[in-house]
Amino acid sequence: MATTVPLLLLFLFLCCVLCPAAAASAHPGYPEMEACGGEADLTVVRREEYDGGRILDITHVYREYMPSWESDEGLGQFLWLPKSMKNGSLANNSEMKLPAHSGTHVDAPGHVFQHYFEAGFDVDTLDLHVLNGPALLVDVPRDKNITADVMESLHIPTGVRRVLFRTLNTDRQLMWKREFDTSYVGFMKDGAQWLVDNTDIKLVGIDYLSVAAYDDLIPSHLVFLKSREIILVEALKLDNIKPGIYTLHCLPLRLRGAEGSPIRCILVK
């Protein structure tokens, strides 16, 4: 009896040392981590979808090596643990520092209009009715940017208010690369103008860091944001999602004074 207790303690100690936090990963884009036998309670479950695909997470995980605007280095370290249980704090308390237009994010009118910025049209003023509701996911032709001709060819029915545009960016896995790539597909000015003039679309979603092609960066943003009626959601994770109609839910942070914010978006079938 006297020797059993120390042996048990030794066993528990070895378990802790040999089996650090186990994790499972559901997406090939994330590094695989080994699950640890016998520690089922510590297995981290990360999901890209729920209920057999009824709920789809279309938000990118914020990570060090995700692309960041005009950077070759990626987002870099954005999360620290200044207070940790390891150094004697009662709890772990992380801090983060992140450009407002990082990863999956939303643009407010103040992004490209100084007078809107000064008047306070920040992300806290964005209409939750527009950010939540039925949405259409469409594939656009892979050989062009989104011009007026492309917009016309998509035949998006009147009355459709939210459209997620999947492009060559998803095929090229641009959001999974560290380096920012200026050759991403986005709206040319005439494509943005066509959308404003000929459709009822009030939410435009796209699969890289900007809805506007790099060559028409500011002109396209100006066309979209001028009326303050259109909300732009950028860097959505649209891999492996079938085109069609879903219910979209997008919630930005209430960052008073910010013209952009990280946003969590999901689709529900």
Contact of 158 with 202, CB cutoff 8 Å: no
> What's the min distance (Å) between Cβ of 184 and ligand NAG?
7
> What's the min distance (Å) between Cβ of 213 and ligand NAG?
4
3-state secondary structure (DSSP) of residue 135: strand
Residue 168 or 223 with smaller CB distance to ligand NAG = 168
Q: How many CA atoms lie within 13 A of 228 on its CB side?
A: 15
Residues 128-187 that bind ligand NAG (CB under 6 A): 143-145, 168, 183, 185
Helix axes 217-225, 189-198, angle to 10 degrees: 10
The Cα–Cα gap between 238 and 129 comes to 22
The Cα–Cα gap between 182 and 196 comes to 25
DSSP letters for 189-200: HHHHHHHHHH--
Residue 185 or 201 with smaller CB distance to ligand NAG = 185
- Tell me the residue nearest to ligand NAG as measured from the CB: 86
Total residues binding ligand NAG (CB under 6 A): 17
> What's the min distance (Å) between Cβ of 200 and ligand NAG?
26
The Cα–Cα gap between 100 and 115 comes to 19
Nearest 5°: the CA angle 202, 70, 214 is 50
x/- binding map, residues 185-224, to ligand NAG, per CB under 6 A? Answer: x---------------------------xxx---------
51-87 burial, b for 16+ CB within 10 Å, e for fewer?
eeeebbbbbbeebeebbbeeeeebbeebeeeeeeeee
> What's the min distance (Å) between Cβ of 229 and ligand NAG?
25
Residue 69 or 80 with smaller CB distance to ligand NAG = 80
Tell me the two tokens of residue 194: 């066509």
> What's the min distance (Å) between Cβ of 217 and ligand NAG?
8
* 87, 97, 155, 158: residue in contact with ligand NAG (rule CB under 6 A): 87
Contact of 249 with 266, CB cutoff 8 Å: yes
Residue 89 or 227 with smaller CB distance to ligand NAG = 89
Residue 39 or 124 with smaller CB distance to ligand NAG = 39
Residue 78 or 117 with smaller CB distance to ligand NAG = 78
* 45, 86, 114, 159: residue in contact with ligand NAG (rule CB under 6 A): 86
The Cα–Cα gap between 209 and 182 comes to 10
Under the binding rule (CB under 6 A), the answer on residue 81 touching ligand NAG is: yes
Q: Hey, how many other C-beta atoms are within 10 angstroms of the C-beta on 38?
A: 9
Q: Which residues bind ligand NAG (CB under 6 A)?
A: 80-82, 84-87, 92, 143-145, 168, 183, 185, 213-215
